[in-house]
Chain A
Amino acid sequence: MSFELSYELLVGLLVLTAAAWSVAARDTYSATVGFVSYGLLIAIMWMQLQAFDVALAEVAIGSGLTGLLLLSAAARLRAAEARVTSRPPVMLRIVAALACTAVSVSIAATVLRLPESAPSLAGAAVGALPATGLGNPVNGVLMAFRAFDTLLEKVVLVLSLVGVWSLAPEPGWSGRPRLLHPFADDGVLRFLARTLPPIGLLFGAHLMWNGADEPGGAFQGATVLAAMWLLVLMAGLGEAPRIRERWLRVAVVAGPMTFITVGLAGIGVAGAFLAYPEPHAKSLILFVELPMMLTIALVLALLVAGPPEPTAGP
């Protein structure tokens, strides 16, 4: 057995173990820990498959921010969880298990039967890439060929943020979100929150800027920025802003608004909504990506920070 194969088998086994752990674990906290490791291992698998953009997104969103969100939820639930003794009925669990098995088996069977050289648009995407001036075909798909999807997904983010905000009680509305940090405070967090952000800011900007030609992009860059901000908030070195602050509201919509403005200008100068005039395509895309990155970073961090809480005083 070659080293490559045994390595892949090992990662596969670990993925299955982590998945089984997060399903079987009794309390939310342990299940979440399993889920975070599962995400990291899946990212290693994507690396094996040379899908670096997907791996980056999986680490940042699937494991990182989602993990943080779940951990803070688990921290809030801990008190209530101890009192809950009932579990879902056996029949329900059996039905859920059967449904999951059926879905997994049908997908596995189908994927194994797919033709060896599956039809793909990868060639077409690479072929059309020069018109965008970009070097990373993934970014070409996200910002040019399917820019419409990318734009509307950002609107989904804004909608979900307003949805989270609307969970706050009316009297405290427009107050500050209060972040419960799920870890014991041992000074390490404060140290990291003081030292990491400058490096993180640089790395985030690098990911976005570099995304034009290599793996990375606005979304991955934004998650790094969001993580830095959350680190500062969790360490207690800063406060989340009041959600009624005008600058905050404007920043939340700046990304999609810029995208739409550039898109509408495309009707005049390039003949279609979200079309870029050829010589300026790359610079326009980067011009859109900068406010997009800020919006995404802000929204992701605020989603993790949760609904605003009633505050005393104005």
Chain B
Amino acid sequence: MTLLAETVAPAAGGGWLVAAIIFPVVALLLAVAGGARFAARVGVLALPAGLAIAVAIADGVAKHGVLGYYVGGWAPPLGIALRADVLSAAMLVTTAIVASGAGLYALHDFGPPREPGGGRQTLGFWVSLLGAWAALNLAFVGRDLFNLYVALELLTFAAVPLVCLDGRAPTLQAALRYLLYALVGSVLYLLGAVLLYGAFGTLDVELLATVVRPEPAAWAAAALMTAGLLAKTALFPLHLWLPPAHAGAPPAASAVLSALVVKGSFFIVLRLWFDALPGLATAMAMQFIGLLGAGAILYGSALALRQSRLKLLVAYSTVAQIGYLFLVFPLAFDASAGRLVAGTALAGGLLQAVSHAFAKAAMFMSAGLVAVALGHDRIEGFGGLARARPVSLLAFALAGVSLVGLPPSGGFAAKWLLLSAAVESGQWWWAVVIVLGGLLTGAYLILVLMRALQEPAAPTASLRPVAAWREAVPLALALLAVLLGLAGLAPFQPGAGTGAVAAAEAFQ
């Protein structure tokens, strides 16, 4: 492990890390000051700039291995460090791409308001999108447990308003439930961070890793923080808030919530167990987290199979796909060393997080366009959709290819890596869950596609028109999810050093 002190040089491009957080913050403050009409313009201009910052960080990480920064020039433990490794870079770029896609797609629904007095939804959407973007970037590069808590707070207060943008009573109720889960999660996380500081005198991830001992304070802190983060990530059985919240939000907001927001807290769970408390993992604790993941996969898929509305089906599919992320913990645990080891399993988890982000954003956006065209999203009424809205349906199907895990998609590479890790470590039971989950996913997606391929029950002349550019956004994201598998498999070829396994090994 490289120590931060050696890698933090002002010349090493660490300033981009600050830019990744401060740039969206400045944009959102300008949006609040300028009002709704201005907010839509600032937001659109911020998208390519934010993407450029993420690419600059990825480029710096590719060149130097890691980027670091001491905010205010104060070194930890007194100050706050930021740091980007390959995992951070992958998540930063993913977030920038998905946020840009969601922003483009949202221009139709949340463009500059026509009446001077209006614009509640426009302002709410852009401020929340920029806030969530800043928060996620901080979650990916933060290296201080309290600074990460601030990232979680930013994320919560950006994400909750996205749920109830349309102001209908059911979405307000869903938002309130989400808020309660998220706040309880925050409190538990904060309690754990306080315990760690009380016992070990630092909140810095790198320093904590060197001083933390397996003792009750550390166990209690790890348990509280993990429980809090799982509630925010909506891991089964703490998922109850997710389906109504993600299904009720406007499509562009659902895409951001389902593709990105839940990954922020997941990423902090990874940081916590792999980086801050590496020696604390026990076989039983890791199996328990894996068990929750398996529960999520099977329960979420089974419920997705029973949904009659498309957006709820997609939301339950998120519950299931989150489960795969948590199989990383039992699969990365090296029983002989008694610790988590970065390798195939972590690479699979990273690829799952990235490919699910693209696929799920594409799915929610195309589901939104289908709902616009038909005026409803009841699956039984989808007859004739394949002929009427082929592009939207193609985007949905391609995203589905990645969720099921068919080659050459990113989802395939992710599940392949997780399966290999299960075989390597002799934990065949997780392999059974992965395969079963893939079958169930295939089942609920095929049911939707079969409906759409049927002849319509009524003539399709009543379809409302949808602009072609709006259909292009989910299609592009779905294609990314499918093509990602080619990049993800690169490490299996000799000489390729930038793939996911190499990325995971650089993590520790």
Q: Do A and B bind each other?
A: yes
Contact B150 A156 (CB under 8 A): yes
Contact A166 B78 (CB under 8 A): no
Contact A149 B147 (CB under 8 A): yes
Residue of A nearest to B149 (CB): A149
Contact A260 B158 (CB under 8 A): no
Residue of B nearest to A164 (CB): B161
Query: Which chain A residues border B32 with CB–CB below 8 Å?
Result: 158, 162, 249, 252-253
- Interface-side segment among B20-28, B317-325, B380-388: B20-28
Query: Which chain B residues border A256 with CB–CB below 8 Å?
Result: 25, 29
- The answer, yes or no, to whether A9 is at the interface (CB within 8 Å) is no
- The answer, yes or no, to whether B426 is at the interface (CB within 8 Å) is no
Query: Which chain B residues border A209 with CB–CB below 8 Å?
Result: none
Q: How far is the CA of A194 from the CA of B332 in the complex (A)?
A: 66
Q: How far is the CA of A85 from the CA of B123 in the complex (A)?
A: 39
- The answer, yes or no, to whether A267 is at the interface (CB within 8 Å) is yes
- The answer, yes or no, to whether B48 is at the interface (CB within 8 Å) is no
Query: Which chain B residues border A124 with CB–CB below 8 Å?
Result: 77-78
Q: How far is the CA of A158 from the CA of B77 in the complex (A)?
A: 29
Q: How far is the CA of A170 from the CA of B35 in the complex (A)?
A: 15
Contact A163 B161 (CB under 8 A): yes
- The answer, yes or no, to whether B160 is at the interface (CB within 8 Å) is yes
Interface of B with A (CB < 8 Å)? Answer: 10, 15, 18, 21-22, 25-26, 28-30, 32-35, 69-74, 77-80, 117-121, 123-124, 127-128, 131, 134, 138, 146-147, 150-151, 153-154, 157-158, 160-161, 164-165, 167, 172, 188, 191, 195, 198-202, 216-217, 220-221, 223-224
Contact B127 A274 (CB under 8 A): no
Query: Which chain B residues border A160 with CB–CB below 8 Å?
Result: 157
Q: How far is the CA of A217 from the CA of B393 in the complex (A)?
A: 57
Selected contact of A173 from candidates B26, B77, B78, B120, CB within 8 Å: B120
User: From residue 161 to 190 of chain A, which have CB atoms closer than 8 A to chain B?
Assistant: 162-163, 165-170, 173-174
Contact A146 B220 (CB under 8 A): no
Selected contact of B199 from candidates A114, A125, A128, A271, CB within 8 Å: A114
Q: How far is the CA of A253 from the CA of B33 in the complex (A)?
A: 7
Contact A275 B80 (CB under 8 A): no
- Interface-side segment among A17-25, A58-66, A102-110: A102-110
Q: How far is the CA of A113 from the CA of B221 in the complex (A)?
A: 13
Contact B120 A107 (CB under 8 A): no
- The answer, yes or no, to whether A46 is at the interface (CB within 8 Å) is no
Contact A125 B158 (CB under 8 A): no
Q: How far is the CA of A275 from the CA of B73 in the complex (A)?
A: 6
User: From residue 114 to 154 of chain A, which have CB atoms closer than 8 A to chain B?
Assistant: 114-115, 118-121, 124-125, 128, 144-149, 152-153
Query: Which chain B residues border A260 with CB–CB below 8 Å?
Result: 22, 25-26, 29
Query: Which chain A residues border B164 with CB–CB below 8 Å?
Result: 166-167
Contact B120 A147 (CB under 8 A): no
Query: Which chain B residues border A165 with CB–CB below 8 Å?
Result: 120, 123-124
* 10 A-B pairs in the complex with CB atoms less than 8 angstroms apart: A106-B220, A107-B191, A107-B220, A118-B201, A144-B74, A145-B72, A146-B80, A149-B80, A163-B160, A263-B22
Residue of B nearest to A249 (CB): B33
Query: Which chain A residues border B223 with CB–CB below 8 Å?
Result: 106
- The answer, yes or no, to whether A196 is at the interface (CB within 8 Å) is no
Query: Which chain B residues border A167 with CB–CB below 8 Å?
Result: 164, 167, 172
Contact B220 A173 (CB under 8 A): no
Selected contact of B121 from candidates A147, A170, A250, A273, CB within 8 Å: A170
Q: How far is the CA of A173 from the CA of B161 in the complex (A)?
A: 15
Selected contact of A152 from candidates B123, B150, B220, CB within 8 Å: B150
The answer to whether A145 and B74 touch (CB under 8 A), given A103-B224, A113-B217, A273-B15, is yes
Q: How far is the CB of B365 from chain A (nearest CB, A)?
A: 22
Q: How far is the CB of B267 from chain A (nearest CB, A)?
A: 17
Q: How far is the CA of A123 from the CA of B89 in the complex (A)?
A: 36
Question: Which among B29, B30, B35, B128 has the highest number of chain A CB atoms within 10 Å?
Answer: B29
Residue of B nearest to A272 (CB): B73
Q: How far is the CB of B169 from chain A (nearest CB, A)?
A: 12
Q: How far is the CB of B292 from chain A (nearest CB, A)?
A: 16
Contact B128 A159 (CB under 8 A): yes
Contact B120 A145 (CB under 8 A): no
Q: How far is the CA of A141 from the CA of B80 in the complex (A)?
A: 11
Contact A173 B216 (CB under 8 A): no
Contact A169 B123 (CB under 8 A): no
Residue of B nearest to A307 (CB): B120
Query: Which chain B residues border A272 with CB–CB below 8 Å?
Result: 10, 69-73
- The answer, yes or no, to whether A270 is at the interface (CB within 8 Å) is yes
- The answer, yes or no, to whether A257 is at the interface (CB within 8 Å) is yes
Query: Which chain B residues border A206 with CB–CB below 8 Å?
Result: none
Selected contact of B198 from candidates A118, A267, A271, A275, CB within 8 Å: A118
- The answer, yes or no, to whether A266 is at the interface (CB within 8 Å) is yes
Q: How far is the CB of B168 from chain A (nearest CB, A)?
A: 11
Q: How far is the CA of A163 from the CA of B175 in the complex (A)?
A: 11
- The answer, yes or no, to whether A54 is at the interface (CB within 8 Å) is no
Residue of A nearest to B161 (CB): A163
Question: Which among B10, B18, B71, B217 has the highest number of chain A CB atoms within 10 Å?
Answer: B71
Contact A155 B131 (CB under 8 A): yes
Q: How far is the CA of A160 from the CA of B223 in the complex (A)?
A: 28
Residue of B nearest to A166 (CB): B124
Residue of B nearest to A105 (CB): B220
Contact B10 A274 (CB under 8 A): no
- The answer, yes or no, to whether A244 is at the interface (CB within 8 Å) is yes
Q: How far is the CA of A173 from the CA of B124 in the complex (A)?
A: 12
Q: How far is the CB of B153 from chain A (nearest CB, A)?
A: 5
Selected contact of B150 from candidates A111, A149, A244, CB within 8 Å: A149
Query: Which chain B residues border A106 with CB–CB below 8 Å?
Result: 220, 223-224
Q: How far is the CA of A11 from the CA of B299 in the complex (A)?
A: 48
Selected contact of A162 from candidates B123, B217, B224, CB within 8 Å: B123
Lowest 4 A-B CB distances belong to which pairs?
A119-B201, A272-B73, A166-B124, A163-B161
Query: Which chain A residues border B70 with CB–CB below 8 Å?
Result: 272
Contact B120 A170 (CB under 8 A): yes
Contact A275 B29 (CB under 8 A): no
Contact B161 A166 (CB under 8 A): yes
Contact A166 B123 (CB under 8 A): yes
Contact with B along A257-286 (1 / 0, CB 8 A): 100100110110011111110000000000
Residue of A nearest to B217 (CB): A110
Residue of A nearest to B158 (CB): A159
The answer to whether A174 and B117 touch (CB under 8 A), given A103-B224, A121-B77, A149-B146, is yes
Known: A103-B224, A120-B201, A168-B120. 10 other contacts (CB 8 A): A109-B220, A110-B216, A118-B201, A128-B74, A145-B74, A153-B150, A153-B153, A155-B131, A156-B157, A167-B167
Query: Which chain A residues border B25 with CB–CB below 8 Å?
Result: 152, 155, 256, 260
Q: How far is the CB of B53 from chain A (nearest CB, A)?
A: 14
Q: How far is the CA of A148 from the CA of B72 in the complex (A)?
A: 8
Contact A155 B29 (CB under 8 A): yes
